[in-house]
């Protein structure tokens, strides 16, 4: 009589055999989930115990991970990390990628610096929630060192980023049946520090605009490249639009409308980003889908852009070009170069450390939110405003940001007025002091000796 055909997950009759005075062996035929068959055998000192052990072995065998052609339960975690990074790189090149190339670079850096050195040689089937938790605790402890605390590096953000990256690596291992459960998802991590946004005052805005213009003027007549006016214009664009520094540096003249007929606008359609192996590249879309927007720009931005616009422009010509390359191509100026020149201007004005590019974005958003609405500030910055199912599927998104040009122009004008008043007040005080001094001197001369 032939063997009874088993369905996946079924086992046959459990056979018991005495193999010694106090030893019993239990055996059964088991059909695994992929349809293949195997035998499960267990030994015990008692017939009933042997039967129970065989039944337990069947459950363990059915629930055990088998792995795939690429990843096995015995594969090292370092291998799993490399495979995940390689897979994400391919997906970052999809038409609508689920992840950006620069994000893959950042995850690869985190895995290479923290995960691989400490857990890279561990097998996947050795990973437990306790082991993963101890790993995260070690990163947090590293941030408590005297050296790290002196630099203000608490490692909390790093811990959260590493946990997120390793979760995705182990989720892929689950997909490949190399592990049945992701142990990292059972761990806990410190809470992210709540942001405390800062914004510049109108006087700070005035000082900054004056500082970058003074820096440009100070370069006139000096050896080296001639002043271009790019730094003051870039600062004004960030103040007048709330755009990210990468979005500003990626601007092309075809996306800028300074025509007096109608409202002057800037279309945000790209950003500059650093990609491993490619350097700084122009990514043909902003950081997020909601970042694609058209911004009505205030007069002070129009004036700054008019001053640097060439006599002849083309749609693909960068607004803020770098030096011309040997093959006569012109590329966009990098964000690193703009940051460097801004630091030089701040040093000349004795404002070192007071301003960073992202602070300009916060300043524009804060001023708009206080004079208009928080939703208007969010739309200006290109943040997503969730309207539920209706908004996602039925309402066409208005890509024209709210008209904040008057409000942002007011921010600049108020700062200029306050600076003028302050200057006039100082002059008046100096004049009064001079008059008092002359009066005292006159009275002294009139007194007979």
DSSP string for residues in 88-152 = HHHHTTSSS-SS-HHHHHHHHHHIIIIIHHHHTTSBGGG--HHHHHHHHHHHHHHHTSHHHHHTT
pLDDT band at 386 (very low <50, low <70, confident <90, very high): low
Q: How far apart are the first and last CA of the chain?
A: 145
| Mean pLDDT value across residues 429-435 | 69
Q: Give the C-alpha separation, 308 to 290, whole Å.
A: 29
The top-scoring range by mean pLDDT among 194-203, 336-345, 435-444 is 336-345
The reported pTM is 0.78
Q: What is the pLDDT of residue 164?
A: 96
Tell me which residue has tokens 């790993």: 135
Least confident of 69-83, 260-274, 320-334: 320-334
Q: What is the pLDDT of residue 1?
A: 43
Q: Which of 317, 342, 313 is nearest to 331 (CA)?
A: 317
Q: Do 382 and 268 meet the contact criterion of CB atoms below 8 Å apart?
A: yes
Q: What is the pLDDT of residue 326?
A: 54
Least confident of 11-20, 115-124, 336-345, 391-400: 391-400
Least confident of 291-295, 304-308, 311-315, 325-329: 325-329
Residues of the chain above pLDDT 90, percent: 63
What does the mean pLDDT of the chain come to?
88
* The pLDDT of residue 76 is above 90: yes
Least confident of 188-197, 209-218, 327-336, 382-391: 382-391
pLDDT band at 4 (very low <50, low <70, confident <90, very high): confident
């Amino acid at each position: 009589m032939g063997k009874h055909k088993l369905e996946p997950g079924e086992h046959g009759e459990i056979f018991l055999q005495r193999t010694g005075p106090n030893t019993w062996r239990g055996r059964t035929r088991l059909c695994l989930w992929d349809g293949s068959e195997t035998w499960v055998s267990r030994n015990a000192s008692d017939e009933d115990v042997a039967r129970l052990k065989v039944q337990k072995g069947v459950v363990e065998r059915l629930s055990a991970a088998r792995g795939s052609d690429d990843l096995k339960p015995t594969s090292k975690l370092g291998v799993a990390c490399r495979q995940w990074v390689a897979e994400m790189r391919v997906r970052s090149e999809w038409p609508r990628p689920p992840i950006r190339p620069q994000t893959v670079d950042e995850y690869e850096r985190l895995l290479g610096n923290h995960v691989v050195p400490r857990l890279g040689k561990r097998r996947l089937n050795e990973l437990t929630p306790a082991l993963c938790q101890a790993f995260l605790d070690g990163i947090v402890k590293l941030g408590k060192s005297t050296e790290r605390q002196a630099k203000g590096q608490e490692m909390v953000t790093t811990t959260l980023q590493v946990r997120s990256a390793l979760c995705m690596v182990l989720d892929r291992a689950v997909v490949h049946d190399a592990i049945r459960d992701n142990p990292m998802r059972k761990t806990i991590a410190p809470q992210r520090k709540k942001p405390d946004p800062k914004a510049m005052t109108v006087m700070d805005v005035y000082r900054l605009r004056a500082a970058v213009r003074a820096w440009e003027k100070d370069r006139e007549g000096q050896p080296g490249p001639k002043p271009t006016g790019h730094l003051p214009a870039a600062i004004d664009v960030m103040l007048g639009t709330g755009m990210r520094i990468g979005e500003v540096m990626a601007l092309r003249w075809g996306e800028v409308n300074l025509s007096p007929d109608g409202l002057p606008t800037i279309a945000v359609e790209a950003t500059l980003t650093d990609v491993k192996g490619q350097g700084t590249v122009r990514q043909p879309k902003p950081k997020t889908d909601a970042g694609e927007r058209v911004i009505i720009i205030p007069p002070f931005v129009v004036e700054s852009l008019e001053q640097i616009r060439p006599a002849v422009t083309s749609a693909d010509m960068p607004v803020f070009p770098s030096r011309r390359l040997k093959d006569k191509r012109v590329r966009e100026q990098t964000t690193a170069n703009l940051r460097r020149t801004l630091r030089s201007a701040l040093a000349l004005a004795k404002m070192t450390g007071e301003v960073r590019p992202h602070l300009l974005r916060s300043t524009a958003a804060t001023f708009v939110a206080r004079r208009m609405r928080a939703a208007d500030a969010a739309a200006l910055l290109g943040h997503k405003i969730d309207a539920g199912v209706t908004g996602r599927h039925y309402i066409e998104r208005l890509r024209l940001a709210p008209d904040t040009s008057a409000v942002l122009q007011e921010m600049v004008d108020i700062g200029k007025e306050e600076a003028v008043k302050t200057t006039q007040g100082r002059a008046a005080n100096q004049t009064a002091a001079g008059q008092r001094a002359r009066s005292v001197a006159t009275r002294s001369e009139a007194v007979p000796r």
